[in-house]
A and B are shown apart, each in its own frame.
Chain A
Amino acid sequence: MTPFAGLLIFVTVSCFVAGQILLKHAMDIMARPRFSRVRATVVFATAIVVFAANFFINIGLLQRFDLSYFFPFQGMSVILIAFVGAYVLRERLTLRLTIGSAVISLGVIFVSLS
Chain B
Amino acid sequence: MIGSLRHWFFNPWVQLAICVLLATAAEIFLKLGAAATADSDNAWSWTGFTGLRSGWVWWGILASVVSLFNWLATLRKLPLTIAFPVGNAVHILVPLSSWLFLGEAILPRRGIGIALVLLGLMIVAKPAASLEAKL
Q: Note whether A and B form a binding pair.
A: yes
A positions within 8 Å CB-CB of B:
8, 20-21, 24, 55-64, 66-69, 71-72, 75, 78-79, 81-82, 84-86, 88-89, 91, 94, 96-97, 99-114
Determine how close the nearest CB of chain A comes to the CB of B62; give it in whole angstroms: 13
Closest Cβ of chain B to A98, distance in Å, is 9
Contact A107 B113 (CB under 8 A): yes
Residues of A within 8 A of B89 (CB): none
A106–B102 CA distance with the chains assembled, in angstroms: 26
Q: Size range of the interface on B?
A: 35 or more
Q: Are A85 and B134 in contact (CB under 8 A)?
A: yes
Of the listed stretches B3-11, B13-21, B123-131, chain A binds B123-131
A82 to B123, CA, bound (A): 12
Chain B 12-67 residues near chain A, CB threshold 8 A: 27-28, 30-31, 33-35, 37-40, 45-51, 57, 61
Contacts of B40 in A (CB 8 A): 63-64
Number of A-B contacts (CB under 8 A): 172
Whether a CB of chain A sits under 8 angstroms from the CB of B82 is no
Q: Given the complex, which residues of A lie within 8 Å of B119, measured CB to CB? A: 103, 107
Q: Are A57 and B135 in contact (CB under 8 A)?
A: no
Interface-centre pick from A78, A82, A104 (highest chain B CB count, 10 A) = A78
